């Protein structure tokens, strides 16, 4: 489904209904939502690319706010500008808001030691953990490709185990990422310059040979 073929109203309806279903059925927050978002907006409707989804994942976890709402706003802006962001955010908010009101009205009467209730929560935690692991594995395969990137992941993983503040890790990643991109850009530019120089040398050599052959 191409974006250009959808009217503004259908885009807004698609955004609202999609995020309504996602937040109504997916338990575990923003990270657990990512596989479903990918399936709907990348694989099914092809409204986003996987690169845009990766950019969204990095951005929504960096800026303040709930990941689910940040994701909805980002995708809504991509697809239908400000009205799209509002529609997607409204769709993402409606189910949790409704469910939490219902739970809040009944929760005081529930027995926190009820083994069936505890079993439900244990099953939900296990399922959420699996979904987050799937998301992490997918992101790892698509973003970590060079030995340097693998080393950075391992370093930050060790620092996270040592309980270094996530805020410090993110702040440390910003200048490192900037330097890495700068280095990659310089290396690519140098490779292109060398290729152009080699091509020009080869062309000059061919012209000289043709000139000598003509004589």
Q: Over the stretch 94-146, which tens digit does the pLDDT of each residue have?
A: 988 898 888 778 777 777 788 887 888 888 888 878 877 877 787 777 777 77
pLDDT in the model for residue 20: 93
In-domain check, residue 73 = yes
SS3 per-residue string spanning 46-63: CCCCHHHHHHHHHHHHHC
Residue range of the domain that includes 125: 3-143
In-domain check, residue 85 = yes
In-domain check, residue 80 = yes
Tokens representing 24 are 């109504």
In-domain check, residue 16 = yes
pLDDT digits (tens, 9 = 90+) for 138-189: 777 777 777 777 887 888 788 878 888 877 877 887 888 888 888 888 888 8
Q: What SS3 state is found at 215?
A: coil
In-domain check, residue 104 = yes
Q: Which of 18, 26, 89, 80 is nearest to 60 (CA)?
A: 89
Total structural domains within the chain: 1
Q: Which of 81, 78, 71 is nearest to 22 (CA)?
A: 71
Q: Please say whether the beta carbons of 37 and 53 come within 8 A.
A: yes
pLDDT digits (tens, 9 = 90+) for 1-27: 455 566 778 889 989 999 998 888 877
The whole-model pTM stands at 0.62
pLDDT in the model for residue 211: 56
What is the C-alpha end-to-end distance of the chain, expressed in Å?
A: 63
In-domain check, residue 182 = no
pLDDT in the model for residue 204: 66
In-domain check, residue 36 = yes
pLDDT in the model for residue 16: 93
Q: Please say whether the beta carbons of 125 and 53 come within 8 A.
A: no
In-domain check, residue 210 = no
């Amino acid at each position: 489904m191409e974006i250009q073929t959808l009217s503004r109203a259908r885009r807004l309806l698609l955004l609202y209904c999609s995020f309504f279903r996602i937040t109504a059925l997916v338990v575990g927050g923003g990270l657990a939502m990512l596989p479903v978002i990918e399936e709907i907006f990348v694989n099914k409707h092809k409204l986003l690319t996987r690169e845009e989804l990766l950019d969204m994942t990095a951005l929504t976890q960096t800026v303040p706010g709930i990941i689910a709402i940040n994701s909805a706003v980002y995708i809504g802006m991509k697809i239908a500008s400000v009205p799209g962001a509002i529609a997607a955010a409204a769709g993402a908010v409606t189910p949790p808001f409704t469910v939490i009101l219902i739970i809040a009205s009944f929760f005081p009467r529930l027995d926190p030691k009820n083994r069936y209730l505890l079993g439900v929560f244990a099953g939900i935690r296990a399922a959420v953990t699996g979904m987050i692991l799937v998301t992490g594995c997918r992101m790892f395969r698509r973003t970590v490709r060079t030995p340097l990137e693998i080393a950075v992941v391992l370093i930050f993983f060790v620092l996270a185990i040592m309980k270094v503040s996530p805020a410090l890790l993110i702040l440390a990643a910003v200048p490192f990422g900037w330097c890495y991109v700068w280095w990659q850009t310089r290396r690519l530019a140098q490779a292109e310059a060398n290729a152009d120089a080699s091509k020009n040398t080869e062309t000059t050599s061919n012209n000289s040979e043709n000139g000598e052959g003509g004589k």
